[in-house]
């Protein structure tokens, strides 16, 4: 079974802090994604990566950056956290464009 | 862009059949996925349709009509554990073949 692991289940940060959300997958998947999930808005794509060192903006990249130095790890960075970034963050991976996404358990981030 | 529409909430009785609809508008349709998400948990993959017709997988079936921009997820012999949100997602060629999700349908199964 594919395992996508997010480093934290719950995080509480202060406004202006730099926040790192880590995601690791163990199935040698090429593609990795970061979504945020908010009530009434569904899952929205923040950033994605189709290969090591490669990154592309999704629908809502503002206020975020990412890093993919190794194939198995995809990090989401909030350079200066703001209260409107309080959300559930979901990491996902897939082998290729024809494969389904496999999700991590999510990180619930609260910015105060 | 993409527009995906599904009902917000549904309620059904244990043992019954329920159909969750999803309509979509997208410029580069390249497949439709259904995911199940229990409260506080990750979405899990249920089914995938890229051609018209019905795909059956145990108690769950999914149907697609590309000409109508329409899909449904059919759940038979409902069980209490089927209470969850069901997410419709469209893969879009013009969007780097990424998945774009609807807001989800929260299904409550009652005894």
- pLDDT bucket at B1, cuts 50 / 70 / 90: low
Mean pLDDT of the residues in chain B: 94
User: DSSP label at B52?
Assistant: S
SS3 category, B94: helix
> What pLDDT is attached to residue B48?
94
Q: By C-alpha distance, which of B95, B8, B89 is closest to B44?
A: B89
Mutate to test the interface with B, among A96, A100, A102, A103 (most CBs of B within 10 A): A100
Cβ atoms of B68 and B49 closer than 8 Å: no
- Across the range B89-107, mean pLDDT stands at 89
- Per-residue pLDDT of A2-31, as tens digits, reads 699 998 999 999 999 999 999 999 999 999
Q: What is the pLDDT of residue A28?
A: 93
**pLDDT per residue as tens digits for the range B48-95:** 999 999 999 999 999 999 999 999 999 999 999 999 999 999 998 877
Give the mutation candidate from B3, B101, B105 for the A interface (greatest A CB count, under 10 A): B101
Of A41, A97, A105, the CB nearest to B42: A105
């Amino acid at each position: 079974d594919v395992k996508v692991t997010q480093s934290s289940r719950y995080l509480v940060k202060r406004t202006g802090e730099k926040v790192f959300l880590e995601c690791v997958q163990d199935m040698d998947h090429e593609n990795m994604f970061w979504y945020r999930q908010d009530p009434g808005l569904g899952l929205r794509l923040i950033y994605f990566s189709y290969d090591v060192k490669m990154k592309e903006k999704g629908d809502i990249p503002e206020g975020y950056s990412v890093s993919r130095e190794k194939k198995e790890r995809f990090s989401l960075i909030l350079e200066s956290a703001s209260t409107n970034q309080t959300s559930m963050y979901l990491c996902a991976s897939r082998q290729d464009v024809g494969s389904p996404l496999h999700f991590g358990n999510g990180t619930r981030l609260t910015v105060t | 862009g993409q527009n995906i529409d599904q009902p917000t909430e549904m309620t059904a009785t244990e043992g019954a059949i329920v159909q969750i609809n999803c309509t979509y508008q997208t410029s580069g349709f390249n497949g439709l996925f259904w995911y199940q998400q229990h409260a506080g948990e990750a979405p899990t993959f249920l089914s995938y349709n890229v051609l018209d017709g019905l795909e059956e997988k145990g108690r769950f079936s999914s149907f697609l009509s590309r000409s109508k921009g329409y899909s449904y997820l059919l759940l038979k012999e409902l069980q209490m554990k089927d209470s969850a949100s069901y997410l419709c997602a469209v893969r879009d060629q013009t969007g780097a073949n990424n998945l774009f999700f609807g807001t989800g349908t929260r299904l409550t199964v009652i005894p």
